[in-house]
Structure 1
Amino acid sequence: MRDLTYRLVIAVCRALFRVLGLRIDVRGAERLPASGPVVVAANHSSFIDFMVVGLAATMRGRLVRFMAKQSVFDAPVSGQLMRGMHHIAVDRAHGAVAARHALSALRRGEVVGIYPEATIGRAFVVKDRADVRRGAAYLALATGAALVPVAHWGVHRVFTVGGRWSLHRGTAVTVLVGEPLVPRPGEDAEALTDRLHDALVEMVEHLLDTYPQPPAEPATAWWWPASRGGAAPATHEARLLDEEARLRADAGRTGR
């Protein structure tokens, strides 16, 4: 059976959702095309947000080939699973190789998943426009694939950066699939990326407005955005933390 590993992982993820009692609400799944090439572009706030982004696609009978950093593929267990699910490794030093693999997948009519923010956003809102990569727009323009924004909120409460994790049952997780972005005449990757960024910002803000479990005391809630009075880092603080983490990772790879 094709994609047996992927389907087994999906079954494990669904079992995990049940064990944790997650209250997952997926909205707008019908907007994701049921056939043909699709680029899914999602916000990034958790180590496991690919599970809920992928869940929205499975509701349309699709499997997402996520682009993920090379280190995930280098680890013995996760690497075997990632290769078995035909995800796409991204090595920062050889980004063109990953782009070629993504283009090939799209030309085969597959769904490719990208996080335009590249790394997990510690502010738990979409990063500033300057920090968003153009890869999703480039792939969509190069192949004619539908560019579908997908926003989610709440899964970072389960497992995210900074050693933050929780097994608390009943956490609400909301997922919103947006309308596909159709390139305008003469539009380049930069302009399309700007529209993608704006769409994700608007969608995340909507999910925050309608989130069913807002904190009773926002100022003490590490997972609630600073822009709404929460204890999460403000956007500029989160950018500094991201840079510090990147430098530590680079130093670890080079042994310095």
Structure 2
Amino acid sequence: MASPTTAAIFDLDRTLISGSSSTVFMRHLTEAGVANIASNPVLEPIVAGAQFAIKTTYDLIGESRLLMQPAKLAVRASSGWPLVDVAEACRRAAAEIVDLVQPFARPLIEEHRAAGRLLVLASTSPLPFTEPLAKALGFDHVIGTSWRHDGTTYTGELDGPFVWGPDKAAAVEAWATANNVQLGRSYAYSDSYFDAPLLDLVGHPVAINPDVRLAATAAIKGWPTRHLDVSDGVIKIAGRELQEWSRPLMRPELVAPSAAITFSGIENIPAEGPAIVVFNHRSYFDPTVMGLLFAKAGRNVRGLGKKEVFDVPIIGRLLRGMGGVRVERASGSNEPLEAAAAALRGGEVVMLAPEGTIPRGPAFFDPELKGRWGAAKLAADTRVPVIPVGLWGTELVWPRSSKLPHFSPFNRPAVTATVGPPVNLKYRSADTDTARIMTAISALLPPEAREPYEPTTEELMTTFPPGYSGDPTAEAERRPGTDTAAR
């Protein structure tokens, strides 16, 4: 006997796609003249009721026993449907549903394929529906509800169990036995509490977009939870990200009452689709201003940030839950850029400061901005637009030399955040494109930012951490990825 293999088992509705696939299949069957439900007064209310329930209740709360009853009875409508016509209609429906697969499901599928695991689509939906979809997605096996037929037409009866809940788990277990698959080392993904028996079968269960009861079950059992429409690790509550819930509170008068902030060019941030947003780094106050900027733009963002911030217990967990990417510059790892590239390919916005950290000493006042090549490399890899943002005055609110921001409602420093059009990159040289990015940011700053300036010793000291006692006229040597200055 061959050595046991492993599998990655995916549910379909509310897992691989965000809603129900049945409405798409039924629409194509109706357009093909196969499902002539209106001519059958007995079946019409059954199927219509099932479709309505799926479209509304299912999308909101997921599966329920009540919802599954009309779905189970809907097989009666298939009586007399020609196999050939059903297959063609479902093939067309599958081509449409492939485009509905959630953005972060695709790399997950490819990850399992690369690892040599069998890809299995396990859905309650009828096999005539799901088999062409599984083929279009490149899956190896399909598990689902079978419809009886006489060789040319469907009879309107089930051919075996309605594959749902415990029966779905039993079908997967029987398939695994027949195919020498070791479930204890396999993965399973589902949104439904009623798939808990299936998730219990495998060694690596994952709750995807879980309904309330599955979310509670996953918390009790220690199962990981994911949402395949956003980057891994992003927390969603009632279908919305933390950034979306907090957006109504992201107003300058509430978040930054000690600054007079002016935003301009927000329309340059794409309303949808991926983008790399880059900004110059002047202050610990910069992330607050950028957060307010994205709230005004109505976009969620994935920010790259130093490991020191992510390692703070509560703040770090919150940042990760909002999709932040932890960067440990000293490690030289490509992991942060790979995570950022994955977010961009999933249609998200990534934000980073090409300078990497706040410049110190004379470098802070240098009119020529210098950056690292991370943004340029990301842009070359993904070919998404790079949107520059010029920040000015943030250091007046929270200079690097202060442990806390300055707060004075009577003396509110002027802060500007200016968004420019996409940078024209050539993708031939990371260094040259980085220079283009920094030039674009510089062009968004006020004229005095581009003029040579001789800072005083006091001004130089504001660019160093509290307690710094080294030479303020030189950039201090420090270990990459830390904020520890030489003393």
Match of 2:374 in 1: 135
Q: Equivalent of 2:384, from 145, 148, 152? A: 145
Q: Within the alignment, does 1:20 sit opposite 2:247 as a pair?
A: no
Instruction: Report the 3-state secondary structure (helix = DSSP H, G, I; strand = E; otherwise coil) of the residue aligned with 1:67.
Output: strand
Residues 11 and 179 of structure 1, relative CA distance in 2, 3 Å threshold: same
Q: How many pairs align?
A: 234
Instruction: Report the 3-state secondary structure (helix = DSSP H, G, I; strand = E; otherwise coil) of the residue aligned with 1:199.
Output: helix
Match of 1:71 in 2: 308
Match of 2:149 in 1: none
Q: Within the alignment, does 1:202 sit opposite 2:436 as a pair?
A: no
Counterpart Cα distance in 1 of 2:485 and 2:261: 38
Q: TM-score, normalised to structure 1's length?
A: 0.77
Match of 1:193 in 2: 434
Which amino acid is the alignment partner of residue 384 of structure 2?
A: A
Per the TM alignment, residue 161 of structure 1 is displaced from its structure 2 partner at its CA by: 1.2
1:1-256 alignment to 2 at 5 Å? 1-10=238-247, 13-14=250-251, 17=254, 20-92=257-329, 93-122=331-360, 124-125=364-365, 128=368, 131-163=370-402, 165-169=405-409, 170-184=412-426, 187-206=428-447, 227=453, 232-233=459-460, 240-244=474-478
Counterpart Cα distance in 1 of 2:251 and 2:424: 32
Please identify runs of 4+ aligned residues in structure 1 that moved more than 4 A: 8-13, 15-19, 123-129, 228-231, 244-252
Residues 27 and 82 of structure 1, relative CA distance in 2, 3 Å threshold: same
Counterpart Cα distance in 1 of 2:248 and 2:476: 33
Which amino acid is the alignment partner of residue 132 of structure 1?
A: G
1:209-240 deviation digits (Å, cap 9, x = unpaired) = 9xxxxxxxxxxxxxxx98176653399x7783
Counterpart Cα distance in 1 of 2:481 and 2:382: 34
Instruction: Report the 3-state secondary structure (helix = DSSP H, G, I; strand = E; otherwise coil) of the residue aligned with 2:474.
Output: helix
- Stretch deviating more after TM superposition (149-158 or 241-250): 241-250
Structure (1 or 2) with the larger CA radius of gyration:
2
Per the TM alignment, residue 59 of structure 1 is displaced from its structure 2 partner at its CA by: 2.4
Which amino acid is the alignment partner of residue 428 of structure 2?
A: E
1:83-132 deviation digits (Å, cap 9, x = unpaired) = 11111111120431111100000001111011111111245556755x41
Residues 246 and 188 of structure 1, relative CA distance in 2, 3 Å threshold: closer
Per the TM alignment, residue 23 of structure 1 is displaced from its structure 2 partner at its CA by: 1.6
Question: Which has the bigger relative contact order, CA under 8 A and spacing at least 6?
Answer: 1
Residues 182 and 228 of structure 1, relative CA distance in 2, 3 Å threshold: same
Q: Please say if residues 67 and 89 of structure 1, whose CA atoms lie closer than 8 Å, have aligned partners that are also in contact.
A: yes
Instruction: Report the 3-state secondary structure (helix = DSSP H, G, I; strand = E; otherwise coil) of the residue aligned with 2:326.
Output: strand
Per the TM alignment, residue 48 of structure 1 is displaced from its structure 2 partner at its CA by: 2.4
Instruction: Report the 3-state secondary structure (helix = DSSP H, G, I; strand = E; otherwise coil) of the residue aligned with 2:344.
Output: helix
Q: Please say if residues 37 and 146 of structure 1, whose CA atoms lie closer than 8 Å, have aligned partners that are also in contact.
A: yes
Counterpart Cα distance in 1 of 2:444 and 2:482: 32
Counterpart Cα distance in 2 of 1:146 and 1:239: 37
Counterpart Cα distance in 2 of 1:150 and 1:239: 28
Residues 3 and 79 of structure 1, relative CA distance in 2, 3 Å threshold: farther
Residues 9 and 120 of structure 1, relative CA distance in 2, 3 Å threshold: farther
Counterpart Cα distance in 1 of 2:270 and 2:342: 19
CA RMSD of aligned residues (A): 3.3
Which amino acid is the alignment partner of residue 140 of structure 1?
A: A
Residues 251 and 193 of structure 1, relative CA distance in 2, 3 Å threshold: closer
Q: Please say if residues 3 and 85 of structure 1, whose CA atoms lie closer than 8 Å, have aligned partners that are also in contact.
A: no
Q: Please say if residues 41 and 150 of structure 1, whose CA atoms lie closer than 8 Å, have aligned partners that are also in contact.
A: yes
Instruction: Report the 3-state secondary structure (helix = DSSP H, G, I; strand = E; otherwise coil) of the residue aligned with 2:388.
Output: strand
Counterpart Cα distance in 2 of 1:240 and 1:10: 41
Per the TM alignment, residue 61 of structure 1 is displaced from its structure 2 partner at its CA by: 1.7
Q: TM-score, normalised to structure 2's length?
A: 0.43
Counterpart Cα distance in 2 of 1:147 and 1:36: 12
Instruction: Report the 3-state secondary structure (helix = DSSP H, G, I; strand = E; otherwise coil) of the residue aligned with 2:287.
Output: helix
In structure 1, the gaps of 5 or more residues are: 210-224
Instruction: Report the 3-state secondary structure (helix = DSSP H, G, I; strand = E; otherwise coil) of the residue aligned with 1:203.
Output: coil
Higher helix share: 1
Q: Please say if residues 423 and 440 of structure 2, whose CA atoms lie closer than 8 Å, have aligned partners that are also in contact.
A: no
Residues 61 and 153 of structure 1, relative CA distance in 2, 3 Å threshold: same
Residues 121 and 205 of structure 1, relative CA distance in 2, 3 Å threshold: farther
